[in-house]
Structures are given as C-alpha cells and as structure tokens.
Chain A
C-alpha cells in the first residue's frame, strides 16, 4: 500500500507542477509569439490559461499535504506522542523544505487566481510561486544527498529538470487546454483552431526543454548510479531504465507524429489529428510521471 500512496502522491505532485509551469511558460513564451492576427485573442486565452494554472497550483498544494501525511506515517515512532514526532519532523530540513514548498504553492494559487481576473502582473506571482515549488522535489529528494559543490550542482540540475518537464509536457497540456476551451475563450473565432498559430511558437520551447531534460537526466543518472551495471542489478537502476525506455518512446512517437502532422495543420482534419496525437503523447508522459514518482522514493543503494 505504501508504494501506491507514494506513486499517487508523486504523480499528483509532478503532474500538477508540470501543468502549472506549462501554463506559465505558455503565457510568457508561446502566446506572445502566436503570429499575426492572434494578439487580440490573447486576453481571453490568458484568462483560460490562468484557470488551468489555478487548478494545477491547487493540485500542487494538495500533493504537498499528502506528502506530509506520508512522511509523518513513515517517521512515526510508536513509543512517542504524535505531536512530538510532528514537531521534530517540521523542525528538520525536510520540514523547512516542505513549508517553503507549501508557501510557494499558495503564492502560485494566489497568482493564478488574480491572473484569471485579467491582472497581468499576477502572472509574475504565479511564475515565482511555481518556480519556487519546483525546487521542492530536489530539496526533499536524492539531489539533496550530495555535499558541497556537488549538492549545489545536483539541486540546480533537478530544478532545471522539473522546469523543463513542465515547459514541455505542461506546455503541451496547455496548448490542448486552450484548443479545447477556445469557444469560451474567443466566441468570435470558435471555429478556428489555435494549433496552426500556437504550434510554431511552442516548438522552440519544446526543443530547448527536451535538450535540458536529456542533459540534466544524464547528470542525475551519472551521480546516483554506482556503476553502469546498477541499471539492471538494483531496483533503482531497473526503474530508471524503465523510465528512460518510456521517455524515449514518448519522445520518438511524439516527434514522429508532430513531424508528420505539423505540415497538415492547415488542412481541415489536421488540427483534429494533432489533438489526438498529442493526447496519446500526454497519456504516455503520465506513465513516465508515475514511474518517476516511485523512482524518487527508491534508494539508489542496491537493497
């Protein structure tokens, strides 16, 4: 049952974080480059995007609450009062990181909430809160196990890894959300798909994100695996291998579909085919998040 709670809590955290970061990156990096004739639609799209971000930020907050419950259950000393254990836990480095994560997630909720009302400055609050919350997995995970410079490098790489996953997968989810919600966001252009405008603006962001994921993922693998053979001789290594295989599958299938479907975006059935393809890609990406959720709770040691 513990692994189920780990996987569920971790998936909720990673999926919510990715979506919140994707909403932010779509606001700052994709919508401003949506092409000519697109700018007048931006206000409505930004409000719709803020609604998605708000739900995601609430998900991050819920995941952090579940994480604290899980941590207390694991930390529990049956011969000590519960209040004593909770106080010890919250006074630890883990507790400090958790409290900072909750504060950042709450700031993100407030930012997205205000952004829904059309306040452009609130996006900066949402961005700061989402980025701050993105540091939580590293500060409470394997990356924090190093010392000195190595610790700083691994924590930075972990933050970049989470942000890159968010701008890629969360960005993809944001595009699909905007496409699905476009009648409400822009009733005058309900029939027109947004994808021919948004995909070209999203592609460079996705490109940089994938490159960042490759570099930071490789760095983490190198740091946490004792040897190459650990990939098949330890539970951690086998999970990592599984993750990489599924990630590679997502990347290859996604890249092939996008390459095949992007030229067809201007055709009548092009956007529909792209939507279906992207949904498959996102579904596979969620499998990756579940595996990652178990991976980060597994000791890299061979037992």
Chain B
C-alpha cells in the first residue's frame, strides 16, 4: 500500500473512531462550587463566616471571597482561609454582626485546569 493510500485509510478510521468514547470516561473532577454556608438563597440569622466547598482544590492563592452588602459595597471581612485539613474548603470570617438585609457572596478561583471560575449567590439576614 502506498503511503498516501494509507493516509486515506487512517482518515476513514479517524472519521469513525475519534469522536466516540467506547465507555464512560474516568469521571475527571472539574472545578466548581459544590456547596456553601450560608446556602444560596438562604434566610436566617447573621452568620459568623462564609464557607465554600469546591469540587477540587483551587490553585494556591487564587481564591477570592467577597461579601457585598445590600447596596453592593464590600463588607469588611477577614482574609480567605484555606481549611488546613481539606484544601477544597475556603472561608472568610465576618467581623461583627451583619445588619438585616440581602447580601451577595462573590467568589473566584482558578481550577487545576487553569480556568478562572467565578460565581455569586445571595442570602438574607433576618432580624433577631
């Protein structure tokens, strides 16, 4: 078989074989927010911290967690702390009690695949 004839054969093989994984893949974990405390759209007493659980460890030093008050201004908080026993958990401590109202948590990090992932969710603080 001539070399270019063989390329034709490979082309035909590629056409049929390349897109179709024969079985389910190894279930690679991709970076995303798994859950949070407070939970999204939760309503209740003022929390003492905001805690995020990611699906995998973000790249070191790339996690940012901002708490925004009802007017959209950042609330003064502690810095981002990584859980020493589980690198997938990050939190910020809140200084003082939050006044009643709707708050937004805006977060951002880089996953192991180098992609910047960000998101936000809201929760409400009720009086008492």
Contacts and interface: CB of A to CB of B under 8 A. Distances in A.
Interface of A: 71, 74-75, 77, 79-80, 88-89, 91-94, 97, 139-147, 150, 200, 203-204, 206-207, 210-211, 213-214, 217-218, 221-228, 231, 240-241, 244-245, 247-248, 251-252, 254-256, 258-259, 262, 297, 299-301
Contact of B7 (A74, A150, A210, A228): A210
A285 to B, nearest CB: 13
Interface secondary structure of B, over-half rule:
loop
Most chain B beta carbons < 10 A, residue from A204, A207, A213: A207
Contacts of B25: 221-226
A141 B114 contact: yes
A228 B21 contact: yes
B114 A218 contact: no
B32 interface: yes
Contact of A231 (B7, B19, B32): B19
Nearest to A80: B64
Interface secondary structure of A, over-half rule:
helix
A251 B10 contact: yes
Contacts of B127: none
B114 A255 contact: no
Contact of A93 (B12, B30, B60, B64): B60
A75 B62 contact: yes
Most chain B beta carbons < 10 A, residue from A94, A140, A141: A94
A255 B21 contact: no
A278 to B, nearest CB: 12
A145 B111 contact: yes
Given A217-B18, A218-B18, A247-B18, 16 more contacts: A71-B116, A75-B110, A80-B64, A92-B59, A94-B59, A140-B114, A144-B114, A145-B113, A203-B7, A228-B21, A244-B19, A248-B14, A251-B10, A251-B11, A256-B8, A258-B4
